[in-house]
Amino acid sequence: MRLEEKLEGLKEVLTQIRKENEDKPILVEGKKDVEALRDLGMKGEIIEVKRGDTIFHTIEDLRGEYEEVIILTDWDRSGARLDHKIRKACEANVISYNNQYRKKIIMYVKKEVKDVEALPAFIERAERIVSNPHEARRTDRDNNR
């Protein structure tokens, strides 16, 4: 998949998340993920699940307030384990979850980006390369010297 296609697909997914985040919280790992999503225009609630409380208790606190959450953990091994734990906690608390956005993002950026916090920098770099491919190649050559 070409960089242009990855960028376009990623932006489309982020637009969908942004819209759903108006009434559904996004569950992320930590503060830097929250900051990255804010940089990407998310205005709704974003909840850090690694904030000292158990994942089950964090999800339990959402019961009654939200019917569905968006899971957006990193795509490394620990992020996958956390995604699994959140899904189990949601099921136990009868809260629907959407982790399909996470899977779509992974499809577009897995080789270049390993976590949520790196998405804004990836998008910025990709936009620069797509808009001016010759400048990007020269910058890459200069950086490799």
Domain that holds residue 97: 3-143
pLDDT of residue 145: 46
Query: Tens digits of per-residue pLDDT, 21-51?
Result: 999 999 999 999 999 999 999 999 999 998 7
In angstroms, the Cα distances linking 72 to 8, 57, 59, 63, 102 are 19, 18, 14, 19, 5
Token pair recorded at residue 48:
């850090």
Q: How many domains does the chain have?
A: 1
Query: Tens digits of per-residue pLDDT, 74-91?
Result: 999 999 999 999 999 999
143 pLDDT above the threshold of 60: no
This prediction has a pTM of 0.88
Q: Can you say whether residue 94 is alpha, beta or left, with left for phi > 0 and alpha for psi between -120 and 50 degrees?
A: left
pLDDT of residue 55: 93
User: DSSP readout, 61-98?
Assistant: HHBTTBSEEEE---SSHHHHHHHHHHHHHHHHTT-EEE
pLDDT of residue 139: 45
What is the domain-level CATH number for residue 8?
A: 3.40.1360.10
Report the C-alpha gap between 77 and 94 in whole angstroms: 26
CB 1 within 8 A of CB 99: no
